[in-house]
Structure 1
Amino acid sequence: MELILKWGVFLCVFGVGGCQFLYNDYEKIPPLNQMDRFLQCREKENLFCLMQFTLRPKNTNSRVWQLIQKSKENPNAFNRDVVNRLRCFPRDLVKRKEELIGNATFRENSLLSNYSLNARLNTIDCKNYSEPKKLTTFDYSVLYSTLAWFGIIAAATLCDAVFRVGNFGEAWTYIKSLSLLSNWEDLRAPVKNEDYQRLKGLQGIRTYNMIIVILGHTVFNCLFSFTSDVGWIETFYRTGYRKFGLNFGLHIVQTNFVISAWVLSSNLYSYIEKNKKLSIKLILKWIFLRYLRLLPVLGFIVCWEMSNWPSIWIAGPPSERNDMDFRACQKNWWATLLLVNNYFLQSDMCNIGTWYLSNDFQMFLLAMILFYVMVNYKIGEEIILWTMGFFWLMHASLIYYNNYPVIFDFSPENSKVENSVGSNILCVLYSSFYSNFGGYGIGLIFGGLYHKYKNHTIKVNEVVTYSWLLVFFGLPISAVYLSLFEYPRLLSAILGATLKLVFSLGVAVGILGLSHGIGGVVKKICEWDYPVFLAKWAYSTYLVNFLIVFGRYLLIDELIPLNDEIMWKSIFSDIIQAFAAGLVVHLLIERPLSNVLRNLASQESTVKIKSR
């Protein structure tokens, strides 16, 4: 019986991970987070303050203090000597800061009297959330420009609906470009391009990858939230398969880099094969069109994040991360619009998620330069490998120099702003250009292999299929698994710079196999019409998913409850809302604005040709 009990405890803690400890000593110490009722405080027009306290013992030998010290020694627990409080105070204290601080400290010490502890105030940030916010000229410009644009879309749609078969010259081109009706028809129209049909599996993978990305963002948001269930968060980090899931989330972005580079490489090889050259003029044109594709939705979201409207319409309690994003947008909006914000700390990025766009666009630029050199100076594809090797060496050197782990280690303490988005480690290991170029380089290489061998027939049998499955799934799983452990300094540097390459290689082999008819059931799942269709607005979905996921807690009135059921409900809700909102943004912003900018660019080229 004793043996059975021991194995049961082992499986609960390390295998299943959903079991709770029978005795939770942390219930005997002060709660990590506490919050007064926000809406009630706002209605009374009082101050609502976000505060952080450090706890100090009256008796260092007390059981409470020993438990607090124990928490600091546990890497999977929060340091319980630092607590967070959201408190309501009378509004007349706003001009008497010393009295406010004294009031806050006295109140906290009164609540700690039974714990034999004292509190020292570290930080305090107070606001009267009932006071009207001052609006600027920029705020009104954003609002009226958005309303005007929606009015134009509505008028074009109405005109298109009334005159379905009309043709009024050049104006009609713009009307159809803006019409929701025509854009929806274009979106639904089947794509007959031969390469698109061969790579339908690639489109399906994009959608499944986006679902995993949204899932990951929801999980991270739960883990970083201001909750009463910190024990659930600590248990989450102690669980083996959940830890694997977190590290998988840090690798999954490589799939997007592989796909993006694959499509570019395939298109470039097709153009070069047909035209036997690659001019600087063409490269500049492709770069310009790429930027035009990214700019409309990105500019729309950044303008709204810079404005005061979100804080007026959604006047939630203090949020360190939301306030951080607003300050970053006020200061560094230009870096996001110019797609260079990946060179900033994530805490200084306007819209943190756009680091991926910056990396992708810069890799696009570098790839165009590499192909220009390859074609015009007769240098082989090995230049891509040399470039990958250079960035691999840079990444490995920085890991070794800073003594960083293989991958960013998510833990309760590392979820704090100063230890995650506010630190250099997340930039080096996750969002930097050099740490991600390997996956993009693999996409360039395999895009070339696809172009070269796409008309070759592979005899598909069980051996080929199982070997392909082993590489497709085995390499990414192996890369994530190896990232779970600690290694000596040199080995950490080597693995840290290599595991993303291994993950990307598995994805690239998987896509190549799908394009040649390998895969069986997996191929059918990847080429299923519904996910392939959803991939058509994946870009808009990616950008709006941050607003959906991280905006959920803007109107909280009390501490957020957390458990497995709540987390999974949030995941399913966020996935559905993100794709739905992405479709709306795609039809209202991305597609019509991209059409207009593309039409203007093509007209300018036509005018130049005629003038010659």
Structure 2
Amino acid sequence: MLPQLYKMANYTQCAENPSNYYCSAQARLIIPSTNLNTINLIKNFSLDKTKFDREFIYRTQCIPKEFIQDDSELYYYASNLVNQEMEFFQLSAKVEDVTCNKIGLEINTFDIICLVVVVFYNILLMFATYKEKSYEKEKGLKYAISRLSLFHTWKLRSKPPNTTDFKNLINMNGTRVFGMLIIILLHIGVASNTSFISDPEVYEKVLNTIWCSTSFGLIYLSIKMGAIKINGIKASLLGCLIRPIFSLGCALGVYGMSHNLGGPIKNLMESKVFIILSNCVYCVYLIHMPTMLLINRFSMEPINFDYWKVIQDYIVSVILSFLIGIYFTLAIEEPGNMIQKKILPQITKWEKISKTE
């Protein structure tokens, strides 16, 4: 029998003394050489990539302030707390990494400056949105402020380009959004691993099911081929095939839709909603991981990741990522594009072609 993979100290009791620190510790199990069953069990876990490595355990601990000042004392105290628990399993452990946060909120000068800048810029955006109609007729600073209006940036971002390339590859908008949805789903596993999990065995099954159900066709084949462990010339040949097979699966879909194949799938990929969302995918990609990490960041007890919990986290992550991503697109990316176009000379595709000829 192995100790729990994750275990959390009571945060509420720890917070009764504001000078305490709430720490996350990673400890490596030390197993007696005579305990062959446990050694083989942990070895089997470490060889299976779909399982957690049970050689390590993770704990949150309430550590008094006097042990925080010196690293050697901190690690010694943290190891003692873990080893008190390990006595029941006739094992020992050595803490290899500890990250501590003070119970009381600490705000430094840099935090204050960042907060002031964020608040001021958002107030400016709200003011520009409110004054857009009256200021857009003015000149100078007032006109520049009106360009920051969320209504104005929305019009610029939601207007599809009237070019031949865009019309031929309009289905790429849906492909980008669909790809973003898959990325968020696959990153659920990465984000979940930053939380303490109450039932790792159930979580492992959920993660495997999601992986299999979201991988299909040539894309799924390339992923499975990438997991094969081989050496030498076989590895070189297989490595050359994985990326082309993955790309071929995506390219065939895009090529077919550009030639009016696909039926309802093509109509969905070229819909107005997907065109608008596609224009915001860059910011959604940047923001989706922090959003997913924050969903379970402040839980005070290990989280039970069953199928419903994963689906719930996925739905919340998609909604929040796209909402925040759209706002960042309108508030930061689009104003940045306008500044870039004012500063740098703009050369169209056809001008480039004429110059090369």
TM-score normalised by L of structure 2: 0.83
Sort the Cα spacing of 1:184 and 1:101 in 2 relative to 1 into closer, same or farther, 3 A: closer
Aligned to 1:502, the other structure's residue is in SS state helix
Give deviations 1:153-184, integer Å, cap 9, x for gaps.
23322221346xx6334656524421122222
Instruction: Report if the CA contact (8 A) 1:42-1:128 is conserved.
Output: no
2:153 to 177, 183, 195: 183
Aligned to 1:543, the other structure's residue is in SS state helix
Give deviations 1:57-84, integer Å, cap 9, x for gaps.
4582486566445544555433433222
Sort the Cα spacing of 1:144 and 1:102 in 2 relative to 1 into closer, same or farther, 3 A: closer
CA shift, 1:39, in A, is: 4.6
Aligned to 2:205, the other structure's residue is in SS state helix
Letter in 2 for 1:195: D
CA shift, 1:581, in A, is: 0.7
Aligned to 2:239, the other structure's residue is in SS state helix
**Where does 1:495-534 land on structure 2 (aligned, <5 Å)?**
495-534=238-277
CA shift, 1:226, in A, is: 2.7
CA shift, 1:509, in A, is: 2.9
Sort the Cα spacing of 1:44 and 1:178 in 2 relative to 1 into closer, same or farther, 3 A: same
Report the Cα distance in structure 2 between the residues aligned to 1:194 and 1:38, rounded to whole angstroms.
59
Aligned to 2:15, the other structure's residue is in SS state helix
Aligned to 2:303, the other structure's residue is in SS state coil
Report the Cα distance in structure 1 between the residues aligned to 2:70 and 2:332, rounded to whole angstroms.
47
Number of the residue aligned with 2:118: 146
CA shift, 1:578, in A, is: 0.7
Instruction: Report if the CA contact (8 A) 2:125-2:150 is conserved.
Output: yes
Sort the Cα spacing of 1:102 and 1:588 in 2 relative to 1 into closer, same or farther, 3 A: closer
Aligned to 1:554, the other structure's residue is in SS state coil
Give deviations 1:498-530, integer Å, cap 9, x for gaps.
211222133223222212212222211211222
Report the Cα distance in structure 2 between the residues aligned to 1:72 and 1:187, rounded to whole angstroms.
48
TM-score normalised by L of structure 1: 0.51
Sort the Cα spacing of 1:599 and 1:509 in 2 relative to 1 into closer, same or farther, 3 A: same
Number of the residue aligned with 1:378: none
Report the Cα distance in structure 2 between the residues aligned to 1:227 and 1:108, rounded to whole angstroms.
18
Aligned to 2:4, the other structure's residue is in SS state coil
**Where does 1:50-89 land on structure 2 (aligned, <5 Å)?**
50-57=24-31, 60-61=34-35, 67-68=41-42, 70-72=44-46, 74-89=48-63
**Where does 1:124-523 land on structure 2 (aligned, <5 Å)?**
124-130=98-104, 132-136=106-110, 139-162=111-134, 167-169=137-139, 174-189=144-159, 191-236=161-206, 239=208, 242-244=210-212, 474-523=217-266
Report the Cα distance in structure 1 between the residues aligned to 2:144 and 2:72, rounded to whole angstroms.
62
Instruction: Report if the CA contact (8 A) 1:236-1:242 is conserved.
Output: yes
2:79 to 91, 102, 105: 105
Instruction: Report if the CA contact (8 A) 2:206-2:306 is conserved.
Output: no
CA shift, 1:495, in A, is: 1.6
Number of the residue aligned with 2:304: 561
Sort the Cα spacing of 1:190 and 1:65 in 2 relative to 1 into closer, same or farther, 3 A: closer
Sort the Cα spacing of 1:509 and 1:110 in 2 relative to 1 into closer, same or farther, 3 A: closer
Sort the Cα spacing of 1:521 and 1:30 in 2 relative to 1 into closer, same or farther, 3 A: same
Amino-acid identity (%) = 24
Sort the Cα spacing of 1:155 and 1:597 in 2 relative to 1 into closer, same or farther, 3 A: farther
Sort the Cα spacing of 1:157 and 1:109 in 2 relative to 1 into closer, same or farther, 3 A: closer
Number of the residue aligned with 2:355: none
Q: Does 1:543 align with 2:286?
A: yes
Instruction: Report if the CA contact (8 A) 1:244-1:481 is conserved.
Output: no
Instruction: Report if the CA contact (8 A) 1:41-1:48 is conserved.
Output: yes
Aligned to 2:296, the other structure's residue is in SS state helix
Q: Does 1:589 align with 2:329?
A: no
Report the Cα distance in structure 2 between the residues aligned to 1:116 and 1:194, rounded to whole angstroms.
71
Aligned to 2:279, the other structure's residue is in SS state helix
Structural RMSD (CA): 3.1
CA shift, 1:548, in A, is: 0.8
Instruction: Report if the CA contact (8 A) 2:160-2:275 is conserved.
Output: no
Number of the residue aligned with 2:351: none
Give deviations 1:339-393, integer Å, cap 9, x for gaps.
xxxxxxxxxxxxxxxxxxxxxxxxxxxxxxxxxxxxxxxxxxxxxxxxxxxxxxx
Letter in 1 for 2:116: Y
Q: Give the structure with the larger helix fraction.
A: 1
Aligned to 2:229, the other structure's residue is in SS state coil
Report the Cα distance in structure 2 between the residues aligned to 1:161 and 1:206, rounded to whole angstroms.
34
Letter in 1 for 2:333: E
Instruction: Report if the CA contact (8 A) 2:25-2:99 is conserved.
Output: yes
Q: Gapped runs of 5+ residues in structure 1? A: 1-27, 249-472, 604-612
Letter in 2 for 1:110: Q
Instruction: Report if the CA contact (8 A) 2:9-2:60 is conserved.
Output: yes
Give deviations 1:423-461, integer Å, cap 9, x for gaps.
xxxxxxxxxxxxxxxxxxxxxxxxxxxxxxxxxxxxxxx
Instruction: Report if the CA contact (8 A) 1:43-1:130 is conserved.
Output: no
Report the Cα distance in structure 2 between the residues aligned to 1:143 and 1:520, rounded to whole angstroms.
49
Report the Cα distance in structure 1 between the residues aligned to 2:100 and 2:223, rounded to whole angstroms.
42
